[in-house]
Every structure is written in C-alpha cells, then in structure tokens.
Structure 1
Amino acid sequence: MFDQFPDLGDGAKKAFEKELDSVFVEKGGLLEQEGMVCNHLYFITEGSARSFYTRENKDITVSFSLEGEFLTAMHSFISRKASYENIEAMEKTKVARIKYESLMGLFEKHRDLERTYRLILEQYYITLEERLIFTKFKSARDRYLDLMEYRPKIIQRASVGQIASYLDMSIETLSRIRAKI
C-alpha cells in the first residue's frame, strides 16, 4: 500500500494499518453514493471501481481505479459536504478503508502520514488536470489511444458504455475507432 511512499515511517504505517477495515463489494455495489457525505478513503486491494455521476438518467464516468490505487469522493471527503458522485465496483472488489475521523487523528500523531496524504492529493490533482486537458484538446481517437497506452487494464475491465462515457464520446464513435485500430 505504501510502496510508493518510501519516506513514510514504520510507526505511521502500522498506525494507519491498525485503523483499516476490509470490505468486499460485489460487482455493481456502491462504495459511495451521491447525496451522502463520503466518510472513507479507500485503497483497492483486489478488483476495480469507477466514479460516476448521473445527469438526465445517464451515467457519466469520471474516473477508474484499479488495484494498488487510493480512491474516494474527494470533494465530499475533504469538504464534508454531500457527494455528487457514486463509486461503483466494476467487479467483485476488495478494499481497505479508513474513516475520515481516524485519518485526521493519525495526522496529529504522525506528520509523515500527513505528508503522504498531501502527495496522494497532489497526484489526484495532477490526474484531474491531465483529464481536463485530455478531453478538451485531444481527438476522440487520440483519447482512446492514450487510454490503451496508459491504462490498458481499464479497457479489459470496463464496459464499452463506461469507456465511451469516460472518453466523452458516443458508443458508436468508440466502436468506429476500435474497428480502425
């Protein structure tokens, strides 16, 4: 879980792991639900999930998360306001989760854990900004090619509709692009 954070001390790692609980979620099950305050930071140990919101009875996929990644409904988790997004398991998924209050308490005792959290937030921000640029300045074909290159597991695990939504294109456009590649 903390392999990407070599500066995190053993005491902080052990304290964090002590606060975790494991949850299994079946395919289609929700980790977080729109309209509720997000109370957990998750780490996917097995499986995958997607974040999406619903507008006019249509799911709009915002992001995908795979094994070895942290996820949460970030705006809600930080602001303590109701979430506008859902987080759904795309397959049977096992997550380790920590409660918001527990995490905040650990920050008081382990400053290196607070720094690690900041690094997680920075990565989240970078991903969000890249996604914004990705959808605004790249063609549909280039968006799909980037997904194939940088996140190929998503193509294997997500439905065509979820991928099309994430790439901001219709299923028909995605099908045409896939047929030409």
Structure 2
Amino acid sequence: MSKLTETLNKFLDLEQKSLQAFLNKGNIREVSKSEKLISKGEICANLFFILKGAVRSYYFKDDKDITISFSMEGEFITSMSSFISQSPSYENIEALEDCKLWHISHQDLMGLFDTHRDLERVYRLILEAYYIRVEEQLIFSKFKNARERYEELLQQKPEIIQKASVGQIASFLDMSIETLSRIRANL
C-alpha cells in the first residue's frame, strides 16, 4: 500500500485518520491478463489504483478496437465519466498483463467525503491531473506527427512497448501498424 500512500501524498499530505479511513474502505483485486475491469454499457462502480501491472482503456468504432489510454503501476484508472456520473460506460478497461489492483467503490468514496474533507480535496486534485492528462493527449494526437507521437510515448511510458501489442500501440497513436513499423525501423 506504500505506492498508493505515496501517490496520494504527491497531491496533498493527508491527515493520518483520513488516509487510514480511505485505505480501510478499499479492497485488493487480482486480475489476469486480458480480463476486463469494466465493459461498455456497465456502470463503473470502482476507482482502481494499479499496484502491479498495466491496463488499457479502449472502445469499438465500426468494429475497430481503438485504444484511448494506457495506465501503469502507480496510477489510478477508472471509466471516469461513468464513475463520476454513475451512468453506463462507453469504454472497456482490460488488463494488459496479470495485475494487482486496489479499489474503492463510488459509494464508499462519496461517504468518506462527508467526514474527511481532505480526501475530497485529494480527489479533486486527482481529477484535475486526469483532465490535464486528457487535454495533453488530445493536443498530442492532433498537433504532432506520427514520429513525434511515438517518440513521446517512448519518453513518457517506455514500458508500454513490452506490455501492449503493436496494434494497440498503433491505435493509441492514431496510425496504421505499417506506419508504426516504419517509424520503429527508422529509429
């Protein structure tokens, strides 16, 4: 749990009683490679923290699998719009490898906010960081050429190259497998 505590404390130094209440409400879940944490149409009831492993978020468009994000050890993951609104998810989240996850339910998290205001603040800061990451990814995909997008992925999450398939990486980078192969061959 030290990774989770360390990550939370990057946002705000929580009171010990708040941190303990938060950790006590969570549970550990182990998932196998390719197992889904959530499927399209389900309401996302949990906020996950990756203790070990990697996951990807994706959706289907015209029967094509489109990867929208990769999340690694030490990061939070959820179907954010579904988790916040408690409405059906448009995305799927699956394990890229065997994973160990800590998770807390939406209901438990909201209940903690009533008695631990510093947890509510940390949650807001986590949401802000998520929003910034999504906005940067949008800019990343719209204003950079294919080679720049691949180089940025190598810089930010080099381990994803070993964990995700070439097709998943190409989809995430919004390019064909052939284009990705050419870029990789020229580096």
Determine whether 1:18 maps to 2:21: no
For 2:56 and 2:115, locate their aligned partners in 1 and report how far apart those are by CA, in whole Å: 32
Deviation at 1:156? 1.9
For 2:73 and 2:16, locate their aligned partners in 1 and report how far apart those are by CA, in whole Å: 22
Pairs within 5 Å for 1:4-153 = 4-153=10-159
Could you tell me which amino acid in structure 1 is paired with residue 68 of structure 2?
V
For 2:90 and 2:170, locate their aligned partners in 1 and report how far apart those are by CA, in whole Å: 20
Runs in 1 of length 4+ with deviation above 3 angstroms? none
TM-score, structure 1 normalization: 0.98
Could you tell me which amino acid in structure 2 is paired with residue 75 of structure 1?
S
SS across alignment from 2:159:
helix
Deviation at 1:56? 1.7
Which whole-Å deviations, capped at 9, do the CAs of 1:112-150 have from their partners, x for residues lacking one?
A: 000000111011000000000001100000000001111
SS across alignment from 1:152:
coil
Deviation at 1:154? 1.2
For 2:5 and 2:177, locate their aligned partners in 1 and report how far apart those are by CA, in whole Å: 37
Aligned to 1:2: 5
Tell me the number of residue pairs that the alignment of Structure 1 and Structure 2 aligns: 181
Give aligned-pair identity as a percent: 56
TM-score, structure 2 normalization: 0.95
Gapped regions of structure 1 (runs ≥ 5): none
Aligned to 1:177: 183
For 2:93 and 2:86, locate their aligned partners in 1 and report how far apart those are by CA, in whole Å: 16
SS across alignment from 2:11:
coil
For 2:28 and 2:185, locate their aligned partners in 1 and report how far apart those are by CA, in whole Å: 41
Which whole-Å deviations, capped at 9, do the CAs of 1:30-54 have from their partners, x for residues lacking one?
A: 0011001100000000100000001
For 1:12 and 1:52, locate their aligned partners in 2 and report how far apart those are by CA, in whole Å: 33
Could you tell me which amino acid in structure 1 is paired with residue 127 of structure 2?
L
For 1:16 and 1:6, locate their aligned partners in 2 and report how far apart those are by CA, in whole Å: 14
For 1:2 and 1:137, locate their aligned partners in 2 and report how far apart those are by CA, in whole Å: 36
For 2:114 and 2:70, locate their aligned partners in 1 and report how far apart those are by CA, in whole Å: 31
SS across alignment from 1:54:
strand
